[in-house]
């Protein structure tokens, strides 16, 4: 019996009853989809999102700022709260770097596959000759581990710099040397925080991010050991290009992993990332 035949034998009362149940069914299906796609250990956690432009000067810095806006709009659509922890403006336009703290259920799960290199092709607004340019920017996603990380970090392993805040922290933070940059010398990891007025608070936040990054390295080492034991040679290369955003000579966004394509570039750059994200999460690893 097909659906049309089923509808014919149902009374109006039964059909109305089914209609009332539809929202509940749809909600149940969404929860089931979430449990299937986002079932890894850290998926429910908050996260830090970093963007760094590649070679290309102003053009790449501008691309980094476009990506930052895209992810901020995605957070607004998803109902996630976000806070700009650190940002450095480009010399002419755009951003040299930005770190965004994103808070919300499954924030890391949804964004974890955004890690990698994002490629933009367009007519550069900074080129008087109106030539086509290709720009790159890398995205790094780190979960905010929700347990206390007991990790001993030697003072001698740290280089701590303080400087004037600038950018997203607001005008009030520019009046003192409140921004803090910490370099972990053994690993060369650099973390920066400038969103608080207090130098001490910025240092505490930066140390928290550093511990997150060092903890992430330990997890990756353990996973690499497991993969070696399994003979798994398909590790993901952070430097690989994961997605292309083409604005000229045609409009197309394509994810290189899921082969998802859309010509609706404007909507994606305005934060409507969920279809692309789900297409990647659905790939069986």
Residue 222 has pLDDT above 90, yes or no: no
Please report whether residue 192 resides in a domain.
yes
Residue 170 has pLDDT above 50, yes or no: no
Residue 239 has pLDDT above 60, yes or no: no
Same domain, 130 and 242: yes
Same domain, 249 and 177: no
Q: What is the torsion angle, in degrees rounded to the nearest 10, for the CA atoms of residue 166, residue 171, residue 177 and residue 182?
A: -40
Q: How confident is the model at residue 55 (pLDDT cuts 50, 70, 90)?
A: confident
Query: Which of 228, 252, 268 is where one domain is finished?
Result: 228
Output the CA angle 147-184-145, nearest 5 degrees.
15
Instruction: Work out the average pLDDT over 197-206.
Output: 86
The pair of three-digit structure tokens given for residue 285, joined into one six-digit string? 């690893």
pLDDT in tens, 3-53: 555 555 555 665 566 566 666 555 556 666 666 788 888 899 999 999 999
pLDDT at position 48, please? Answer: 94
The length of the chain, given as a count of residues: 285
Q: What is the C-alpha end-to-end distance of the chain, expressed in Å?
A: 37
Neighbours of 232 (CB within 10 A): 12
Please report whether residue 86 resides in a domain.
yes
* E strands in 23-157: 47-53, 81-89, 95-103, 116-123, 132-143
Whether 78 and 104 have beta carbons less than 8 Å apart is answered as yes
Q: Which residues contact 59 (CB under 8 A, 6 or more apart)?
A: 124, 126, 133, 135
Find tokens 């997203």 and name the residue.
Answer: 168
Among candidates 276, 273, 241, which has minimal Cα distance to 260? 276
Whether 267 and 253 have beta carbons less than 8 Å apart is answered as no
pLDDT at position 8, please? Answer: 54
Please report whether residue 206 resides in a domain.
yes
pLDDT at position 127, please? Answer: 78
Please report whether residue 13 resides in a domain.
no
Same domain, 167 and 223: yes
**How far apart, in whole angstroms, are the C-alpha atoms of residue 262 and residue 260?**
7
How many domains does the structure of the chain reveal?
Answer: 2
The pair of three-digit structure tokens given for residue 282, joined into one six-digit string? 């659905």
Q: How confident is the model at residue 282 (pLDDT cuts 50, 70, 90)?
A: confident
Same domain, 224 and 87: no
Same domain, 62 and 139: yes
Residue 101 has pLDDT above 70, yes or no: yes
SS3 20: helix
Residue 90 has pLDDT above 60, yes or no: yes
Same domain, 53 and 143: yes
Please report whether residue 22 resides in a domain.
no
Please report whether residue 67 resides in a domain.
yes
Q: Whole-prediction pTM value? A: 0.74
Q: What's 245's domain CATH number? A: 3.30.70.1660
Please report whether residue 108 resides in a domain.
yes
Instruction: Choose from 37-46, 119-128, 264-273 the range with maximum mean pLDDT.
Output: 264-273
Same domain, 51 and 143: yes
Same domain, 251 and 144: yes
pLDDT at position 262, please? Answer: 96
Range of the domain at 80: 47-148+238-281
Find tokens 């790159």 and name the residue.
Answer: 136
Same domain, 221 and 163: yes
Same domain, 205 and 256: no
Please report whether residue 254 resides in a domain.
yes
Q: How confident is the model at residue 181 (pLDDT cuts 50, 70, 90)?
A: very high
Same domain, 134 and 86: yes
Q: What's 218's domain CATH number? A: 3.30.160.20
Same domain, 128 and 76: yes
Q: How confident is the model at residue 165 (pLDDT cuts 50, 70, 90)?
A: low
């Amino acid at each position: 019996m097909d659906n049309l035949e089923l509808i014919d034998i149902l009374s109006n009362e039964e059909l109305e009853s089914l209609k009332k149940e539809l929202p509940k069914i749809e909600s149940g299906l969404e929860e089931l989809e979430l449990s299937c796609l986002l079932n890894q250990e850290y998926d429910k956690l908050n996260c830090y999102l970093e963007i760094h432009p590649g070679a290309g000067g102003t053009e790449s810095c501008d691309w980094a700022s476009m990506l930052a806006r895209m992810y901020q709009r995605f957070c607004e659509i998803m109902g996630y709260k976000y806070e700009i922890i650190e940002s450095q403006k480009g010399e002419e336009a755009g951003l040299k770097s930005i770190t965004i703290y994103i808070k919300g259920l499954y924030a890391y799960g949804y964004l974890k596959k955004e890690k990698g290199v994002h490629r933009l092709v367009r007519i550069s607004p900074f080129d008087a000759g109106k030539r086509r340019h290709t720009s790159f920017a890398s995205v790094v996603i780190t979960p905010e581990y929700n347990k206390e990380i007991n990790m001993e970090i030697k003072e001698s392993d740290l280089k701590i710099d303080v400087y004037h805040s600038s950018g997203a922290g607001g005008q009030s933070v520019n009046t003192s040397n409140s921004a803090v940059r910490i370099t972990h010398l053994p690993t060369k990891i650099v973390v920066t925080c400038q969103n608080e007025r207090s130098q001490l608070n910025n240092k505490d936040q930066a140390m928290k991010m550093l511990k997150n990054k060092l903890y992430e390295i330990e997890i990756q080492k353990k996973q690499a050991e497991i993969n070696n034991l399994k003979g798994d040679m398909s590790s993901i290369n952070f430097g690989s290009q994961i997605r292309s955003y083409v604005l000229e000579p045609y409009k197309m966004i394509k994810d290189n992993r899921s082969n998802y394509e859309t010509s609706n570039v404007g909507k994606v750059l305005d934060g409507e990332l969920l279809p692309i994200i789900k297409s990647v999460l659905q790939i069986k690893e």
